[in-house]
Amino acid sequence: MPIIDFFPIDVDYVTKNEKSFILIFGRTIDGKRIAVIDENYEPYFYVVPKDKTLARNLASKLEKLNFKIKERTIFVKKIDIVQKKFLGKDAAALKIFINDTRNISKVKDYIRGFGEVSQIYESDLPVYRKYLIDKKITPLLLTTVEGEEVKENYDSDIIVKAKKVEPKEDLVLKNPRILAFDIEVYNQRRYPNEEIDPIIMLAFYGNDGFSKV
């Protein structure tokens, strides 16, 4: 399997053909565009019972969780009981993996109804951010991927299905080409709705002094 060094630029958690995975876009040391597909990462969140003696009983209940949301069956893939510290106190936390993270907020609301549950943690943290934290990967710092080159419909010179992704060293991508943009829309609510709110202004700023409004 080839091993390629690259600088991660953009990371996302995507679902394609009912399968979810981490997708990293970056540049190799010699400037080629690379897309890294990591199907090995399993998103999770923590549930802390009101008392650590309730951990195994609560885990047994949650392992049986199985319900449908819009024709999709949601279930718990596995649960690990891990020792954590919360607010400086030792606790037995349930590390919960589910099959469909797109509905994690609904699962969280359902679990919160269990009488043994005290707190739920890391359910609101985006999966791609948890991935970077768990892997200790920093965007624009040199990273290495070991895997198999594949053919996929991504706009990249190299596409790798990863076996292993890990940080390599504190070498930073020099002089990246950057374009920042900001969009202002007209709306009468707290949050804009991309389906109906008109764009009233676009602002761009990039390398070599490029700017436009």
What pTM value is reported for the model?
A: 0.82
Q: Is the dihedral of CA 176, 11, 125, 194 positive or negative?
A: positive
**Domain locations in the chain as residue ranges:** 3-41+128-172, 45-121, 179-212
Pick the closest to residue 180 from 146, 143, 207 (CA basis).
207
C-beta atoms surrounding 187 within 10 Å: 14
Residue appearing with tokens 């349930």? 94
CATH architecture of 3-41+128-172: Beta Barrel (2.40)
What does each of the 213 residues of the chain score in pLDDT, given as a tens digit? 789 999 999 999 998 877 889 999 999 999 999 999 999 999 899 999 998 888 999 999 889 888 787 777 888 899 999 998 887 888 889 999 988 887 788 888 888 888 899 999 998 889 999 999 999 999 999 999 999 999 999 999 999 999 999 999 889 999 888 899 999 999 888 778 888 899 999 999 999 889 999
CATH architecture of 45-121: 2-Layer Sandwich (3.30)
